[in-house]
Structure 1
C-alpha cells in the first residue's frame, strides 16, 4: 500500500460524519468548503462502506414503495 493510501486510511473522521457526507452526495448538494473538509478528514474505507449502506437503503425504500403501490391496486 502506498504511503498516501495508508495515511488516508488512518484519518479520524467519524462514521456518522461519513454517513452524513454520503447522504448529501446522494442528493448532489454539497458546498465546496464542506467537500474540501470531507476530503481532509474522512476515511476512504468508511466512505465505501457508507456508500454501500446508502445504496442498499435506497434500493430497499424503492422496493417498499413499489410493493405498496402494487398492493394498493393503483397499478392495475
Structure 2
C-alpha cells in the first residue's frame, strides 16, 4: 500500500496540487529516498512516453 501512496503523492506533486493535511500525513509515514526513487522513475516514464509519441507522429507523417 505504501508504494501506491508514494505514487499518488508524486503524481499530485507533478500537478502542484496538494492539501497541507495530506502532505503532513505523507511526510510522517514515507521515507524521502523512496519518494525520490519513485519520482525519478515516473519522470523517466514520462520522457519515454513523450519520445514514443514523437516517434509515432514523425513515422506517421513520412
Matched, 1:15 2:15: no
Structure of higher CA gyration radius = 1
Relative to the length of structure 2, the TM-score reads: 0.85
Runs of 4 or more consecutive aligned structure 1 residues displaced over 6 Å after TM superposition: none
Greater RCO structure (CA 8 Å; 6+ sep):
2
**Aligned residue pairs, count:** 62
What SS does the aligned partner of 1:30 have?
Answer: coil
Relative to the length of structure 1, the TM-score reads: 0.72
Distance in 1 of aligned mates of 2:59 and 2:19: 40
Q: Which one has the bigger helix percentage?
A: 2
Runs of 5+ in structure 2 lacking a partner?
Answer: none
RMSD: 1.7
